[in-house]
Amino acid sequence: MAGVDASKYQDTNDSPQAELYDQYREKNEEELKQDIQQNWNLFQDQIIINGFSGSSSLNLVGLMIDQDVNPEYPRDTNLKTVVPLNQNEFTIQFVTELGPVVIRQFEDIKKENMIFSTYLQPGEISAELSSQSNATVSQTIVEYIILGIEHIVPKGLDHILFIFGVFFFAVKLKPLLWQVTMFTLAHSLTLILASLKLVFIPASIIEPLIALSIGYVAFENIFQRQDKFRSNSNIIRYAVIFFFGLIHGLGFAFVLEDIGLPTGQLILSLLSFNIGVEIAQIGLVVLAYLLMFYPSKQLWYRKAIQIPFSLVIGLIGIYWFFERVFF
């Protein structure tokens, strides 16, 4: 209703409509209900349901808003709508300004068994849906591999910086592969456990720790001792990487929680997402290795590349840590 373009602004404070947006956030339940009902004709046109013989508009039949008003925290608003369909099969499209959208389809109104989920980029049209929209095995694999890749590149800047922080420890294939292996094993473990609801740690704890992990591995690159390739030093480094990998795995799990996992293909979608994450990580490491292979052999590499790049990565990580803890 405020007109914030969610495809351009992740932080509403950066948008020209920030003041109006904050005014809506400060309204109580009844005031916000009134505003939504009065502006529904504008909102319904931003969600397009297309059947084969035309398009249909959403009719608002129910509205529920969290009563606790604290403009500093998110507040859920649940809109119940119905739409008459001309065909059993249809597509859904949210206008670009609404930003990226997750669509989940359940077997029935109880929402106990999710049969389909997908992530739409801003303005993207969904695949054809129907009352029997169970995704095939191949569709699930491709969908969640792509989601895993996209979570790293281009959306996972914090994970990208961590990988580069790991990389700049040493451009030598053996220690590099060991570090990536430790990280992979660790985040795969906690990703699976968290996605299966066996482990839970709040995002308010995990997100600052992810930022701290970036700062740690980067500054360790700068202050590492000359015996960095001795076994004891490497074992400590691998243990640290494994620990931070556990933390990052919990961060990955938050993404899957937002998107959802099809109940009937839970393990398949989980493994596919993890494969996508690994493809992106390996791609980043290989690219960095190829770019730095020649410079790393030069005497000026540490002073001209390793230390400056690690310093920038470390400072970003520390900045994010304080931002996520105190702001």
Whether residues 263 and 231 share a domain: the answer is yes
Residue 19, in any domain of the structure: yes
Q: Cα–Cα–Cα angle for 180, 299, 232, nearest 5°?
A: 40
Residue 4, in any domain of the structure: no
Residue 309, in any domain of the structure: yes
Whether residues 222 and 97 share a domain: the answer is no
User: Cβ(183)–Cβ(245) under 8 Å?
Assistant: yes
Whether residues 166 and 74 share a domain: the answer is no
Whether residues 125 and 143 share a domain: the answer is no
Whether residues 126 and 88 share a domain: the answer is yes
pLDDT of residue 229: 46
User: Cβ(244)–Cβ(216) under 8 Å?
Assistant: yes
d(CA 218, CA 227): 17
Whether residues 236 and 249 share a domain: the answer is yes
d(CA 93, CA 45): 10
pLDDT of residue 56: 63
Of 134, 153, 177, the position where a domain reaches its end is 134
Residue 284, in any domain of the structure: yes
Backbone phi and psi for residue 77, each to the nearest 5 degrees, phi listed first: -125, 120
Does 122 sit behind a cis peptide bond, omega within 30 degrees of 0 on the bond before it? no
Q: What is the average per-residue pLDDT within 59-64?
A: 90
Share of the chain above pLDDT 90, in %: 43
Of 107, 134, 161, the position where a domain reaches its end is 134
Residue 245 binned pLDDT confidence (cut-offs 50, 70, 90) = very high
Whether residues 155 and 289 share a domain: the answer is yes
**pLDDT over threshold 70, residue 53:** no
Residue 308 binned pLDDT confidence (cut-offs 50, 70, 90) = very high
Residue 1, in any domain of the structure: no
Residue 55 binned pLDDT confidence (cut-offs 50, 70, 90) = low
Q: What is the average per-residue pLDDT within 146-159?
A: 88
Whether residues 50 and 145 share a domain: the answer is no
Give the chain's domain count: 2
User: Cβ(199)–Cβ(250) under 8 Å?
Assistant: yes
d(CA 90, CA 60): 19
**pLDDT over threshold 70, residue 117:** yes
Residue 197 gets the label, from left (phi > 0), alpha (psi -120 to 50) or beta, of: left
Q: What is the average per-residue pLDDT within 155-170?
A: 91
Whether residues 120 and 231 share a domain: the answer is no
Of 98, 115, 134, the position where a domain reaches its end is 134
Provide the 8-state DSSP code for 303: I
Could you tell me the residue range of the domain that residue 162 belongs to? 139-326
